[in-house]
Amino acid sequence: MTDFSNYVLITDLDGTLLPHSKIVSIKDLVAIERFKNCGGIFTIATGRIYQAAEQFFDILKPNAPVLLNNGGLIYDIQQKKALYSCYLDPVSIDYTIALMEQFPEIGVEINTMDNIYVVRMTEWEKRHLEMTHLPYAETTIDAVKNEKWCKVLYSIEGGRMYLLEEYVKQMGWNKASFTASGEFLFECLPLNCSKGRALEKLAEICNWQDYTISAAGDYDNDLAMLEYANIGFAPENAQDIVKKSASYVTKATCEDGAIAEAIEYIEKVCKVK
């Protein structure tokens, strides 16, 4: 019987494990369950907030804490408590106002631990909300400026994403981190917040010093995690920059079993007994 007891596999959700339908494939589910049953540690790292990721906990049954908010939250789903969390500096309010003034076409969504606030609704923001199927409140920045912000999510037509990125660079804002997290999604996160830093923190919490850590992801916001891991996986549909950073690019995409192929790679190439 294969023994994965010294291996960790942590995967991004959207675009890596989750296909366009957002339904985990039977192929991946079977492989993940076998990996865990043979001693492996499996969990997820996603840009999704708790409310948007929770629906997958019972399906995937991670046997380690999960990383949410692009690394801003480490949450133990068994104990139902946060092990680590960080929030945006209040100056992020000014950053968001400046972006809204510079780009009147962007949708803007503010995420807290408990709520989703939409402060500018656009067609792109509607598209994002339709993907998550979560309750939200339309409000103003002033109405929520005294709450603790986990992140701000901006939505814009994909071909104009680079304009947001260039503007942020030009402004030299140094009290928050910014990353693209999807074809039309751009995020403002707590300074130095990333899936990579959160994975490093999780490894300390769980004492994984002697484990082989594998990570899988498809987008910019997964790069730090893949770079930290001992083995980095990218599905065939991943961004080119992510593929270049990965140890192995699966032949499968997120639509046809990329994570199952990653587990097969761990078993065969790493010669797991």
* CATH assignment at residue 210: 3.40.50.1000
Amino acid at 195: K
* Cα–Cα separations (whole angstroms), residue 35 to 40, 48, 251: 5, 24, 20
Question: Which one of 190, 214, 241 terminates a domain?
Answer: 190
Question: Which one of 144, 174, 190 terminates a domain?
Answer: 190
pLDDT digits (tens, 9 = 90+) for 203-259: 999 999 999 999 999 999 999 999 999 999 999 999 999 999 999 999 999 999 999
Q: What is the pLDDT of residue 268?
A: 85
**pTM for the complete prediction?**
0.89
pLDDT digits (tens, 9 = 90+) for 142-173: 999 999 999 999 999 988 999 999 999 999 99
Categorize the per-residue pLDDT at 271 as very low, low, confident or very high, splitting at 50, 70 and 90: low
Does residue 77 share a domain with residue 202? yes
CB-CB contact of 211 with 84 (8 Å): no
Sorted by sequence, the CB contacts under 8 Å of residue 84 that are 6+ apart come out as 73, 74, 198, 201, 202, 205
Domain that holds residue 79: 7-85+193-269
Strands (E), 105-197: 107-111, 116-120, 137-138, 151-155, 176-182, 185-190
Q: What is the pLDDT of residue 2?
A: 84
Domain count, the chain: 2
